Structure 1
Amino acid sequence: MYAVWKLCLANLRKRKIQNFLIALLILLSTLLLSTSVILISNTDNLFTGMHEKTNGSHDILRMDSGLQDPEQIREFWSDEQGVQVSKLLEYRTLSGVSYNGSDIPNLLLFMMDTPAPPLGVDELLTAQGIRSDTPEKGTVWIPTSLAYSHQIAVGDTLSFKTDSGTVDLNVSAVVVDIPYGGPFSTESRIWMNDLDYQALPVAEGAVPSYMMGIRYDNYADRQSDWNAFEQALGSPYLETVMSFDEISSFYLILNKVIGFVMIFLAVVMMGIAFFTIGFTIADAILTQYRTIGVLKSLGLTSRRTIGVYLIQYAFLSVTAIVPGLILSRFLSRMIVDSTLAYLKTDTDPLPLSGINAAAWTGVLILVLVLLCVWAYGRRARRIAPVQAIRYGMSESDSRRESRGIGTAGRSLIGFGSLPAVLVVGTRNILKNAKTSTLMMILTMVTSAVLVLGYVVLNSVINIQQTSPQWGYDDSNITVRVFNPSTFSKSEFEDRLSADSRIKNVSWHNGVTGVIEAADTPVAGEFAYPLSIVISIVEGSYNDIGFAVLEGQNPVNKNEIAIGVNVAQSLNKNLGDTVELYVEGQQHTLTVTGIYQSVANSSNSVRILAATVQENNPAFSATDVAYINLNNPAQSDAVVAELNGSYADYLSAATQKTLLDSVFLEAASTLILPMCFMGLLFIAVTLIIIYSICLINIRKEIKTYGIYKSVGMSSGRIRQSVALGISVLATVGALLGILLGVYALPMILENILSDYGMVDLPLVINRGGVVLIACLSIPAAAAGSWLSSRIIRKTSPRILVVE
C-alpha cells in the first residue's frame, strides 16, 4: 500500500498543471450542475412555499358582467367541503396611471375596496412599509410587480386616471400579492381605503364588479368540485376565472428555462470532463509504460496500479467538488433573487433550499469520475513487464511506430508542396486525430452555447420584429381608453380619418368567455368547460398584424381562431366547430386558424365583433384601438398629439414602448445566467485545449527539437501549432452556429410549449452570430499558444542526441 501512496503522490507532484486543470474542470461541472439543481428545486419550492404561506388561491373568479349572482356563487363555494374562499372583494377597473409625470404603459388596474383582515384566501404580505388593517385614507398598497419594475417606493405618489380626472394617492406599503404580482404582469391590484374607493366615479348603470379566491384542500378534487358548481348554477360559469396554472406560470417560466439549459450544458461539460480525464489517464499510462512494467515485475498488482489513479482522481475530485458546491449556493442565490424578486420582502428574504440535492449531485459526480478512472485505468492491466521494459510500449505498438508513415500517405496528403508552418500545424492535427476531434467538438459546443445565449437575448430585446409570432399585434400605435363613459368613439374616428398620416384603425375588446368542453375526447383532463380570454376585433386581424401558425384569422362572424393550448385541450383542428359562450350567449363557430401566444399561455380565442353583434347589435369594441401609419417613423409625434388632445380619455403608446415594458425585464433577468454560461464555456475551452495540447507537445517534443535543429525557430513552431488549432476551432465554430441556431432552440421550445409557444420566434443577426461564435477561436488559439511554451525551453542538442 505504501508503494501505491508514493506513486499517487508522485503523479500529483509531477503533473501539477494537468491536475490543476482537471480539478478546475470538475469544479466548473459541479458548479453548473448543482446550480441548476438548486435553481429548479427552489423555483417550485419558493413559489409553493409562498403560496402556502399566504393561503394562496387555486382559482380566482372575477364577476364583472352581471351574468351571474356573486352572492349565490360565494354561498355555494362557502358550503362546499374541502374548499376555502375569500371574502367578496369589490373592485373597479382603471387603465391609466402615471408616476413622476410619466404614464406607466400596458397596465390594467383593479382598484380594490380593501376589507378588514383576514381576507380568507390570498392574504397579503408586506414587502415594504408598515401595514395596518386597511390603507389609510389617501394611501394605497401596491404589488411588488408594479413597485419593483418601476422603482416605486413607499411614500411615492401615483396619479390614477378616472372618468372625472386624476386621483393622486400615496404608496403606504408594497405587498406580495401572489395572483396579480408575478413577473411580466400587465394587471395589478391596487388596495384602497374604503373612503377613497367610494369616491371613485362610477358610470351610470354600471354593474358592481367582484373578485373571489378559491383554495382547494386537495387540488385533485378541483374538477369534481367545479362540475358540482356548474350543476348548481344550471349552466357553465360565464365570467372570468384564472386558474392556478395561469397564476404560477410566469413565476416559474424563467427559472425553468435557465435551469433546463444549465442542466443540458452541465451534462455536455461533464461528458467533456470525463473524456479529458480518460485521455489524460491513457497518456499517463503510455508515458509511464516502462515504469509500470518495472513495478509489475517487482510485484505491484494490476489492481493496485488502478488504485493509484483512483486515489489520485478521488483526491482531485473532492478538492474540486466541495468548492464547486459552495460556489453554487452563491450563484443560485443571485439567480433566484433576480428571477423571483417579486416574492421577496424586506424582513423575510427568500429561503434557499435544495442544498441536500446539490450535495447528492456532488456525490454523483464523484462516483462518475471514479467509474471513468476505473474504466480507463484498466488499460494498465494489459501491460506485459517484459515488453514494457524492452520497448517502453507493447510490441505491436513498437512495430507500428517503427514503420512510420508510408509513402502512399505522404503522396496522398502532398505535404511537400505546403509551407513549413502549415505542414507542422496540419501534421499535429492529423497525427492526433482523437484529441483533434475532441477539440473541434469542444469549440463547436462552446460556440453553440454562445450563439444560443446571444440569439435568445437578441430575440427578446428585438421582440418588436417578431411580435405577431409571440401572439402580439404588429400595429404602430396602441390606444387604451380608460374613460369609456364620456369618450366619443365616432368623434375620435372622424379625427383619425381626416389625418393623412393614419393608414387604418381597428378596435379591440378583451373579454372572458367559456368553451363548452363536455364532449372533448381528451381523457377527462378538461372535462369541465374552459374559461378563456376572447379577443374581439372590430376591423381586421390582418391590419392589426395578429399571426397564425395554421389557417387564417376569422373574417366572417361564424369563424374563430384558437390558441394552441385550446386546440390541444379540446383536440380541435381546422374545420372543426366549437361551442363558445360570449356575454352569456352561445355561438357555434368554425375553427379557421390556430395560433400561439405567450400571453395567457395560448388559452385564448379570436372572433369578430360581428359575432357578438348577432345577439347584441349595440355592441361596439372601445377598449383598445390599434392604429397603423403610412409612415411608422411618425409614431412618436402622433402619440404625443393623441395624449395631449385626449388626456382625460385615453393613453396612447407606440408598440415598442408597450413591448419593452414587459420584455426588457425578461432580457435583464436572462443576461446574468446567459453571460455566466458563455464565459464558463470559453474558460473551459481554453483550459481543456491547453491541457490536450500540452500532452500532445510533450509526446512530440523530440520531433520539435529536430525542427529547431534544422533552423525552425521556437516562435514559428508555436505559430504552426496555434494555426492548426485555430483552423480546427474555426470548423467547430461554424458547426456551432448551426447547432446554436437550429438545434438548441428546440430545447427551449419543449419547455415553452406548456406556456403556449410551440415555435420559438428568433431574431437572428448574422453578423452578431458569427462574431459571438468566433469567440471560441481565440480561446482555443490562446490555449494552444500557452501550452507550447515548453518548446521554447527545450534544447535541440539534447533532443537530437536522444
Structure 2
Amino acid sequence: MLIQMLRRDFRRKKSISIALFIFISISALLVASGSNMLMELTQSLNALFKQSKAPHFVQMHAGELNEAEVQKFASAHDLVEDYQVAAMVNVDGSHLYLKQDGESEEQSVMDHYFVMQNESFDLLLDTGNKPVRVERGEIAVPVYYKQQSNVSIGDTIKLSDGAFEREWTVAGYVRDAQMNASIVHSKRFVLHPSDWAALSQRTGEMEYLIEFRLKDQGMLQQFRSDYQAASMPSKGPSVDESLFKALNALTDGILAAVIILVSLLLSLVAILCLRYTLIAAMEEDYREIGIMKAIGIRPKTIKNMYLLKYSALAVLAAIIGYAASWGVNALFTSNMELYLGSAPRSLPLLAVPLIASALVCAIVIGCCKLTLRAFDRVSAVEALRAGTLGEARSSGKAPALHRSRWMPVPVFLGMRDVLSRFKMYRLLLVVFIISTCIMIVPVNLLNTFKSPSFNTYMGIERSDLRIDMQYSEQVTEEFMRVSQTLTNDADVERFSPIFASAFQYVNSDGAMEEMAVETGDFSLFPLEYAQGRAPVEENEIALSYLNGKDMGKKVGDRIRLHVDGTEKEMTVTGIYQDVTNGGRTAKAVLPFLPDQVIRYEVSVDLKEGVPVRDKMEQYAKSFYPAKVTDLEGYLSQTLGNTIHQLRLLTAVAVIVAILIAILITALFLQMAVAKDAAQIAIMRSIGFSLPAIRIQYVTRALLVLGIGILFGTIVSNTAGQSLAGLILSFIGASSIKFVINPVQAYAGLPLVLMAAVAVTTLLSIASIKKTTITEWNAG
C-alpha cells in the first residue's frame, strides 16, 4: 500500500517533483558558487600578496625627498623588517596615448605612473603572478586597461608632450597589489630601467612611495603613529595592507555576498516549497493515512516512506547543483582571475562549496522531518470521517458577505478567505516577501552604484566638474589662477575651492600623529554624513569613517589639533564616508596655510544649458597640469566593472524571483484546491459559475502578493540597505542609502510579478471541474 501511494504520488506530481528538484539544485548551485567565489577570492588575494611581497605600510609623497632621513628612521625602528623608496614619474593623461585611434587619456580620472620593477618587495606581477620583466622599448600596462581600453599585447603606447616623444610596445600586463582595483585612481606602468631613466629626466612630475614591511603586522597602528610623530615625509595619503586587500576584493566581494544572500533566500523558499508539497500530499492521501493507522501500521513507517522520497530528491538535487556549479564558476570568477590570478588548488577550495551544498540538503531534509510530524496528530477516526486535515478553519474575524455592497461577490469572498484563513496563507506571504527582496535589493544596489550621488559615499562632492591639483612647487600659484578664472567665467553657477593640509593632533596615548584635513566651505557641495553634520565653526571638525574608527572618536568627542604652532581643541560634528586617499581624511574650517597644503580641489557647477563636456575640455587645456574630471565619467571609470557585474546579477535575480513566485503559487494553489474540494462542490451546487470561483482564487493570490510586495519593499529598504552598508564599510562607506527608481521599484517590478502570479493562478485552477456536492460525496 505504501509503495503504491508513493508511485501514485510520483505519477500525479511529476511536474511538481521536477520543479522542486530544479529549485533545490539552483539553490545548491548558487550557494556552492558563492562560497567558491569567496574562497577563491581569499586564496587568490593571499597568493597575490604573497608573490608580490606587498608592503604593510605605504606613505605616498610628492615633492622633494630626503632619502637619508627615511633610511635613518627605518634603521632605528625595531618594527621595520625591510623598507624601500620607489620613485614614480607621474605623466599627465593629455600626453599619454593608449588607444590606436589617437585619442589621449586627457579625460581619464586615473593618475598614470611610470616605474621600474622593484627588486626587494612590492613586486609588480605578470598574468602568471611572476615578477614583470620588460626589455628596452617595451612596456607592461595594468590589467585595468586590458579590460577598460582593450589594450592588447603588441599594441603601441605613445607618450608625447611636445618637447619629448617616445613609443613602447606592450609586452605584458601588470597585476599590482596596491593599485589593481579600478576604484584606486593610480596605475603603474612598468618600463625598462634605461627607458625609465630617460623618461624621468625629460617629462612628468616625480613622486615617491615610501614602503615598509614590518616584523609584526599587529603593530601597524603603532608604527603609523611613530612614523607620523617623527615628522617624516607625508605629502600624500598613507595606506596599509588591509586597505589594499579591501579595495582589491570590493567588486568580487560584493558579487559573492549578493550571490550567497540570494542562495540563502532560495534555500528558505525551497524549504517552504517542500512544506507546501508535503501538506498537499497529506491532504490528498489523508483517508489512506487514516486507513493505514487503523490497520496498525506505525506512524514512523509511514513518515519514513515520505521522507525517503524527498530525502532522495534533495540529495540528488544537491549533488547536481554542486556539480553544475563547477560549470558556472568561470562565469562568476572571470573578473577575479584577470585581476588577481587563479587561486591555487587546495582542500578548503574544494571542500567548502561541497559542505555548503550539503548544508542546503541537510536543511531541506530537516524541514521535511519537522513537517512530517503532522502525521502524529492524524486520528484514524477523524481522517475516515472528515477526509481532510481540517487546518483551514475560519477565524471568525472575517466580514460577512451582506456587508459588502460595493465589491463584486467573488472578489469579496476571495479577500474574506484570506482574512479568515490567514494561517494557511502566511507561508505564501513569506515567499512573496522573499521574492520581492530578491528582486528589489540587487536593483536598488545597482541603481545606487549607477547614480551620480554615489560619489558622495566616496568622499567626493556632487558637482558638474571637479578640478584636482596635486602638490608641486607652483601649485599655490596655479590654484590662484584657477580660482580667478572661475570667478570671471560667466558659465559658472558656483564653485567651491577645497585645500588639503597636513596637521598634527594628539592621540589617545598623548603622542603626536599626522592627519590630512580638508578646509573650505562644505555647505555649497555637501556630502552625505553617516552621523552628524559638516563643520561650520573654526573649532569644529568632521572625520571620515575609517579615521573615526581608528581614532575611536564619534560625534561630540574632542580632538586636540595643532594649527600653525597653536593647539586647538576641536569638536567632532560629523562622520562621513570616504574611500579616497586611503579612506582617512577630515574636514574643518581652518586658516589657509599655503606651506602646509598637500593638494587643492575645486568643485564646479555650470549654469543650465552649458555643455559639461565642452567645458571640461576647455578647462583641461586652460588649467594644465590640473586634472579636470566629469563626475559621470569618473563614476564609469572607477565603478564601471562593478556596475557591469551587478547588472548581470540583477537580471538573474529578477528572473529567479519571478520563477520562485510562479512555482510557489502553483504549489500552493494545488494544495488549496485539494483542501477546498468540498467547498468548491458546494459553491457549484448553489449556482456559482466556474469563472466566479476562479476569480476568488486570483483575488486570494493577488491580495497576498500585494501585502508581500509591501513588506518586501520595506525589508529591502531597511535590512537590505543595512547589508549593503556592512559590505562597503570595509573601505570606508558604512551608511548607504539606496537610490530608488520609483517607477521601477514601485510599479514596473511589482506589475511584472503580479502578472506572473495572476497567469499562474489562472493556469493552476483551470483544472477545477464542474463538480456538485452530490458528485463530490459520491467520489
Say whether the 8 Å CA contact 1:163–1:482 is kept in structure 2. Answer: no
1:400-439 Cα offsets, whole Å, 9 max, x none, are 99xx979997736746875343255346535653332222
In 2, Cα distance between equivalents of 1:211 and 1:330: 42
Residue matched to 2:312: 315
1:45-97 Cα offsets, whole Å, 9 max, x none, are 22112212323222224344446x43453576579788653653222323424
Say whether the 8 Å CA contact 1:507–1:622 is kept in structure 2. Answer: no
Residue matched to 2:509: 519
Say whether the 8 Å CA contact 1:241–1:531 is kept in structure 2. Answer: no
Q: Describe the SS at the equivalent of 2:713.
A: helix
* Mean CA deviation greater in 350-359 or 684-693: 350-359
**Gapped runs of 5+ residues in structure 1?**
521-527
In 1, Cα distance between equivalents of 2:286 and 2:199: 89
In 2, Cα distance between equivalents of 1:76 and 1:700: 83
Name the CA shift for 1:159/1:62 in 2 (closer, same or farther; >3 Å): same
Residue matched to 2:120: 120
TM-score, normalised to structure 2, is 0.86
Q: Describe the SS at the equivalent of 1:790.
A: coil
Residue matched to 2:580: 599
In 1, Cα distance between equivalents of 2:568 and 2:164: 42
Say whether the 8 Å CA contact 1:65–1:209 is kept in structure 2. Answer: yes
In 1, Cα distance between equivalents of 2:600 and 2:57: 25
Residue matched to 1:365: 360
Whether 1:250 and 2:241 are equivalent positions in the alignment is no
**Amino acid corresponding to residue 297 of structure 2 in structure 1:** L
Q: Describe the SS at the equivalent of 2:115.
A: strand
1:530-552 Cα offsets, whole Å, 9 max, x none, are 665x2545x53334544545555
Q: How does 1:301-450 map to 2 (within 5 A)?
A: 301-338=298-335, 341-344=338-341, 354-392=349-387, 411=400, 414=403, 418-423=407-412, 425-426=414-415, 429-430=418-419, 432-450=421-439
Name the CA shift for 1:573/1:733 in 2 (closer, same or farther; >3 Å): closer
Report percent identity of matched pairs.
16
Aligned to 1:660, which of 636, 643, 647?
Answer: 636
In 1, Cα distance between equivalents of 2:525 and 2:388: 75
**Amino acid corresponding to residue 26 of structure 1 in structure 2:** I
Name the CA shift for 1:511/1:661 in 2 (closer, same or farther; >3 Å): farther
In 2, Cα distance between equivalents of 1:620 and 1:712: 83
Q: How many residues align?
A: 767
Q: How far off its partner does 1:691 sit?
A: 0.5
Residue matched to 2:268: 271
Residue matched to 2:109: 106
Aligned to 1:755, which of 731, 737, 742?
Answer: 731
* Mean CA deviation greater in 482-491 or 437-446: 482-491
Say whether the 8 Å CA contact 1:114–1:191 is kept in structure 2. Answer: yes
1:569-594 Cα offsets, whole Å, 9 max, x none, are 22334565535589x98864624542
TM-score, normalised to structure 1, is 0.84
RMSD between superposed Cα atoms in Å: 4.0
Q: How far off its partner does 1:304 sit?
A: 0.8
Residue matched to 2:698: 722
Residue matched to 1:590: 570
Say whether the 8 Å CA contact 1:86–1:122 is kept in structure 2. Answer: no
Name the CA shift for 1:454/1:391 in 2 (closer, same or farther; >3 Å): closer
**Gapped runs of 5+ residues in structure 2?**
none
In 1, Cα distance between equivalents of 2:394 and 2:429: 24
Whether 1:696 and 2:672 are equivalent positions in the alignment is yes
Residue matched to 2:615: 638
Whether 1:784 and 2:768 are equivalent positions in the alignment is no
Residue matched to 2:456: 468
In 1, Cα distance between equivalents of 2:583 and 2:599: 23
Aligned to 1:60, which of 52, 58, 61?
Answer: 58
**Amino acid corresponding to residue 357 of structure 1 in structure 2:** V
**Amino acid corresponding to residue 294 of structure 1 in structure 2:** I
Say whether the 8 Å CA contact 1:598–1:756 is kept in structure 2. Answer: yes
1:112-145 Cα offsets, whole Å, 9 max, x none, are 1445xxx2223222229998744423x3222212
1:657-684 Cα offsets, whole Å, 9 max, x none, are 2233223332112112222222212211
Say whether the 8 Å CA contact 2:442–2:649 is kept in structure 1. Answer: no
In 2, Cα distance between equivalents of 1:474 and 1:416: 55
Residue matched to 1:525: none
Say whether the 8 Å CA contact 1:128–1:174 is kept in structure 2. Answer: no
**Amino acid corresponding to residue 328 of structure 1 in structure 2:** S
Say whether the 8 Å CA contact 1:558–1:611 is kept in structure 2. Answer: no
Name the CA shift for 1:161/1:501 in 2 (closer, same or farther; >3 Å): farther
Say whether the 8 Å CA contact 2:141–2:190 is kept in structure 1. Answer: yes
Whether 1:743 and 2:719 are equivalent positions in the alignment is yes
Q: How far off its partner does 1:278 sit?
A: 2.9
**Amino acid corresponding to residue 728 of structure 1 in structure 2:** V
Q: How far off its partner does 1:38 sit?
A: 2.1
Whether 1:498 and 2:501 are equivalent positions in the alignment is no
Residue matched to 1:671: 647
Q: How far off its partner does 1:247 sit?
A: 0.7
Q: How far off its partner does 1:689 sit?
A: 0.9
Q: How does 1:42-57 map to 2 (within 5 A)?
A: 42-57=40-55
Residue matched to 1:523: none
Q: Describe the SS at the equivalent of 2:740.
A: coil
Say whether the 8 Å CA contact 1:415–1:423 is kept in structure 2. Answer: yes
Residue matched to 1:563: 544
Residue matched to 1:190: 189
Residue matched to 1:478: 466
